[in-house]
Every structure is written in C-alpha cells, then in structure tokens.
C-alpha cells in the first residue's frame, strides 16, 4: 500500500507558486489577486474562506474578502458580482456557497464572468471542460487529477467507479477521467444513490473515487485487491479522543481498505489540502491569462 500524501503535494505546489509569484514581483508584473464573497456567518463557510485567505497570503497573492449579512438582497449581491467582474485588479473570485435561501445560487454563479470563475462552477467552464477546451476546473476534481499525475498512477484503459454525481465533484471527476488525455482514457462508471449493483461494480474497479458523503461507506469486502482508492468524503463526527471533541471521517473505512489497495488517500491529509491549492493554481492561471487570453 502506498499512501497518497495530499498534504505533502499541496505544500510542494504552494512552494512552486510562491517562487513563481516572487519572479513576477521581481519582473514588476501583476501579483495574482483572488477575491471571495461570503454571505452570512455559517461556521464552515467562515472556516473555508479563512483557509483560502491564509493560503493566498502564504504564496504571496493579494486577497480580498467581501462580507455581507445574510439579509442582503439578490440584486445587491448581483451588483457586487458585477463590480468584481469589472474590477481589473481582481484576477479571479469565488462566491462561497451555500447562500441564503432567498438567493438563487445558480443565478449568482451564472453572473460571474467565466474568465474570473476560478471555482469552475460557471456552465461555460463546465461546458468547455466537457469538450476538452481550456477551462477552470473545479478545485476538488482538479486536485485529484494533480495527485494522480504527480504519483504517476496509470488510468489509461482502467475501470474506474466514481461514487457520486454532484456538479462540483462526481460529475466533473467522471468526465476528466474519461477524457482522451493523460491522465484520463479510463472507462468510467458514475454511480449514485439509485445505482443497483454498486458493490459488484466497485469490486471490479481498478480505481474507486468515493464522493458520496457517507462516513466509512466503502469497506474492504467491496474493494478489489490492488485497487487505487481516492476518498473525497468529509463527515464531522463527535469524538472523545480529540481535544476539539470532533474528528473527520472519509467515505472509506481506511484501516481495513488500505491493506488491499495499491494507492490510497487518507482523511484528513488526502484530497482536502489539494482543493485549496487548486484554487490557487486557477487564480495563477487567471492572472497569466492562460485559460482565456488577456487582450
Ligand atoms: P453531494 O451530497 O452533492 O453528492 C453526493 C452524491 O453521492 C450524490 O450524487 C448522491 O446520489 C450520491 N450518494 C449518496 N449516497 C449514496 C449511496 N449510498 N450510494 C451511492 N451514491 C450515493 O456531495 P458532494 O459531491 O458535494 O460531496 C461529497 C462528499 O465530499 C461530502 O462528504 C463532502 O463533504 C466532500 N467534499 C470534500 C471536499 C474536499 O475538499 N475534500 C470538497 C467537496 C466535497 P444522488 O445524486 O442520487 O442523490
């Protein structure tokens, strides 16, 4: 069993980005600038935005956080999005989800200029990804692809089961692994809650991406000997063994599954750290005009 150390790879990538930003500074170029909009006071959202802000500072990016109360009108938020779209200082921005019920998330996402949509949630970016054009790819699938690349895990011709079909994880992950590309060229099955023979499908898979959000769902009896297992799930459960009283569990019963695998990601320390790093990479691409050339 080989551990896929997402924390280590994420730190490595952060160092690479830091060096690149230092070079840009020396050349008198523009420092990449990521902005985030956060609405309300949801604890998890505050934590995510806090992590993103810290990561920006770590690599030398400029970072702006715009905070709004949860009674903000949809029209006002749309205007704020438009201001960021038009602000030449901002290379890319994200709107932290979830938004309050009276605001349409889809409307807000579609109001973001695709050229600044570093979360890769805009239909234009999703569509471009599907047909293989340069696009911002949402952070979690992009992070998983980077891990597969850096650990040189063969995907060509392999049978992959992705469990989950959300627009931000399961669906893009399935498309990326099935693309005519390297990594890619896999034969992908995208499973979901209506899939009937999941156990049988998983037991034949060379690679399993578990992104369903059910703690320790994947057990050793389901997994093929020598498979690669990528655990995306994060569930916070109470624990009397930690200082905080909480611990994080993945979708994989790690201790028993790990023994059967060739490669496996742990939780925490696997996919999670890569997600923020992918956002930094997308912001860097935005500032360099790599996806959509700047004129
Ligand atoms: P969603 O809840 O949006 O999607 C879950 C998917 O899993 C759905 O497609 C659902 O099927 C499917 N599913 C649920 N139960 C089963 C089951 N018993 N068998 C098969 N399929 C099932 O979740 P997300 O994609 O947003 O996130 C998935 C997990 O990944 C969560 O734990 C989340 O916290 C974590 N996550 C981690 C990130 C990281 O950085 N590490 C980033 C993003 C998410 P159906 O469509 O039929 O309902």
Ligand 1 neighbourhood includes 185 CB (under 6 angstroms)? no
For the chain, the residue count is 295
The predicted-structure confidence for 136-166, as pLDDT tens digits, reads as follows 999 999 999 999 999 999 999 999 999 999 9
**Residue 170 Cα to ligand 1 middle (Å):** 7
Is 96 catalytic? The answer is: yes
Q: Is 90 exceeded by the pLDDT of residue 98?
A: yes
Supply the CATH number for residue 231's domain: 3.40.50.720
Same domain, 76 and 159: no
pTM: 0.96
3 within a domain of the structure (yes/no): no
- Nearest-CA residue for ligand 1 atom 48 is 193
Residues in a beta bridge with 207: 160, 228
Active-site residue (options: 80, 96, 158, 251) = 96
Same domain, 69 and 168: no
Same domain, 104 and 153: no
Instruction: Extract the tokens encoding 84.
Output: 């960021």
Q: Which helix (H) or strand (E) holds 22?
A: helix 6-26
The predicted-structure confidence for 242-256, as pLDDT tens digits, reads as follows 998 999 999 999 999
- Nearest-CA residue for ligand 1 atom 18 is 193
98 within a domain of the structure (yes/no): yes
- Nearest-CA residue for ligand 1 atom 3 is 166
The predicted-structure confidence for 163-177, as pLDDT tens digits, reads as follows 999 999 999 999 999
- Nearest-CA residue for ligand 1 atom 42 is 140
| Closest ligand 1 atom to Cα of 217 | 18
Ligand 1 neighbourhood includes 191 CB (under 6 angstroms)? yes
Query: Residue 262, Cα to own-chain centre: how many angstroms?
Result: 23
Q: Which residues of 253-283 are buried (b: 16+ CB within 10 A; e: fewer)?
A: bbeebbebbebbbbbebbbbbbbbbbbbbbb
Percent of the chain with pLDDT over 90: 98
For residue 294, what pLDDT is reported? 72
Q: Is 70 exceeded by the pLDDT of residue 295?
A: no
Same domain, 109 and 150: no
**Mean pLDDT score of the chain:** 97
Same domain, 50 and 104: yes
Q: Is 90 exceeded by the pLDDT of residue 293?
A: no
1 within a domain of the structure (yes/no): no
Supply the CATH number for residue 49's domain: 3.40.50.10860
For residue 240, what pLDDT is reported? 94
152 within a domain of the structure (yes/no): yes
**Residue 164 Cα to ligand 1 middle (Å):** 5
The predicted-structure confidence for 99-119, as pLDDT tens digits, reads as follows 999 999 999 999 999 999 999
Same domain, 171 and 242: yes
For residue 19, what pLDDT is reported? 98
For residue 90, what pLDDT is reported? 98
Distance CA 113, CA 115 (A): 5
Ligand 1 neighbourhood includes 138 CB (under 6 angstroms)? no
Active-site residue (options: 119, 206, 231, 251) = 119
12 within a domain of the structure (yes/no): no
Q: Domain residues for 161?
A: 139-272
Ligand 1 neighbourhood includes 272 CB (under 6 angstroms)? yes
For residue 81, what pLDDT is reported? 98
Count of structural domains within the chain: 2
Same domain, 97 and 154: no
The predicted-structure confidence for 5-62, as pLDDT tens digits, reads as follows 999 999 999 999 999 999 999 999 999 999 999 999 999 899 999 999 999 999 999 9
- Nearest-CA residue for ligand 1 atom 8 is 164
130 within a domain of the structure (yes/no): no
Distances (CA, A) of 116 to 45, 111, 125: 20, 11, 10
């Amino acid at each position: 069993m080989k551990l896929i150390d997402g924390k280590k790879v994420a730190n490595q990538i952060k160092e690479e980005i830091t060096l690149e930003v230092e070079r840009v500074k020396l050349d008198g170029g523009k420092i990449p600038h990521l902005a985030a909009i956060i609405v309300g006071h949801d604890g998890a959202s505050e934590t995510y935005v806090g992590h993103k802000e810290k990561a920006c500072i770590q690599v030398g990016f400029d970072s702006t956080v715009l905070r709004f109360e949860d009674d903000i009108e949809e029209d006002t938020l749309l205007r704020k999005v438009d201001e960021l779209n038009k602000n030449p200082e901002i290379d890319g921005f994200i709107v932290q989800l979830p938004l309050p019920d009276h605001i349409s998330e889809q409307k807000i996402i579609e109001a973001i200029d695709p050229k600044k949509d570093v979360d890769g949630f805009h239909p234009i970016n999703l569509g471009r990804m599907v047909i293989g054009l340069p696009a911002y790819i949402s952070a979690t699938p992009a992070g998983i692809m980077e891990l597969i690349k850096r650990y040189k895990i063969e995907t060509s011709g392999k049978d992959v089961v992705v469990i989950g079909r959300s627009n931000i994880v399961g669906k893009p992950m399935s498309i990326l692994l099935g693309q005519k590309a390297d990594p890619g060229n896999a034969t992908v099955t995208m499973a979901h809650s209506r899939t009937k023979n999941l156990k049988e499908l998983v037991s034949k898979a060379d690679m399993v991406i578990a992104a369903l959000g059910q703690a320790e769902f994947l057990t050793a009896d389901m997994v093929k000997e020598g498979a690669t297992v990528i655990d995306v799930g994060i569930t916070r459960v109470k624990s009397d063994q930690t200082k905080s009283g909480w611990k994080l569990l993945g979708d994989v019963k790690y201790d028993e599954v790990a023994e059967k695998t060739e490669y496996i990601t742990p939780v925490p320390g696997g996919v999670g750290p890569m997600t923020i790093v992918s956002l930094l990479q997308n912001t860097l691409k935005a500032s360099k005009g790599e996806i959509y050339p700047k004129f």
